[in-house]
Amino acid sequence: MIFKAAGDRRPYPDHGLDSPRDWAHLAPRMIRLDELVTTKSTLDLETLLTTDSTFFGDIFAHVVGWQGTLYLEDGLHRALRAALQQRPVLHARLLVLD
């Protein structure tokens, strides 16, 4: 199993962090893939295979902690690339809303 669960929505309230610049104040940390619940249920294979998918965005995934669960808000393709490379962790910025 790669993720704790696969979801298709964001169950937590809006946090107001919309751009990579908004997330920049959160220091990246290592988060285990098997602790994450995805917020997207579809995958774009072309995005997964591209080498420069983070060229214009944040190089770190965005994770939201809500009611004891970690939700992968942005970085699904990065997380899957990590899993394909047999890495159990992902560098991500974590915002805790609890």
Which residues in the chain belong to E strands, given as ranges?
5-6, 28-32, 36-38, 61-66, 69-74, 89-96
CA 17 to CA 7: how far, in whole Å? 20
Q: What pLDDT sits at residue 81?
A: 87
| Confidence category of residue 98, pLDDT binned at 50, 70, 90 | confident
pLDDT by residue (tens digit) across 33-80? 999 999 988 877 776 666 665 555 678 999 999 999 999 999 998 898
Q: Which among 68, 66, 65, 69 has a CA at the least distance from the CA of 93? A: 65
